[in-house]
């Protein structure tokens, strides 16, 4: 299990970011909370994509 996480953590970051974004869209009533969750989700997805792209170049 740990080995799977270590080998695929960039994809896990992207999936968690997308789930967070969906959660923010469908559940948050407050604009401030929704904005905060969307920022966190965007950062997670961006970092995951960058890591994935860098590791693909190696």
Residue 43: per-residue pLDDT: 92
Quote the number of domains for the chain.
Answer: 1
Query: Residues 26-50: what's their mean pLDDT?
Result: 86
Q: pTM of the prediction?
A: 0.75
Q: Is the alpha carbon torsion for 15, 17, 22, 28 positive or negative? A: positive
Q: Give the pLDDT band of residue 45 (cuts 50, 70, 90).
A: very high
User: How far are the Cα atoms of 5, 8, 14, 34 from residue 2, in angstroms, in the given order?
Assistant: 5, 10, 18, 32
Range of the domain at 41: 2-57
Closest to 10 measured CA to CA, from 48, 43, 37: 48
């Amino acid at each position: 299990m740990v080995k799977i996480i270590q080998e695929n953590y960039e994809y896990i970051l992207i999936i968690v970011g997308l789930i967070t974004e969906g959660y923010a869209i469908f559940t948050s009533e407050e604009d401030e909370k929704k904005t905060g969750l969307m920022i966190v989700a965007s950062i997670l997805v961006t970092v995951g994509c960058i890591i994935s792209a860098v590791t693909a170049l190696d």
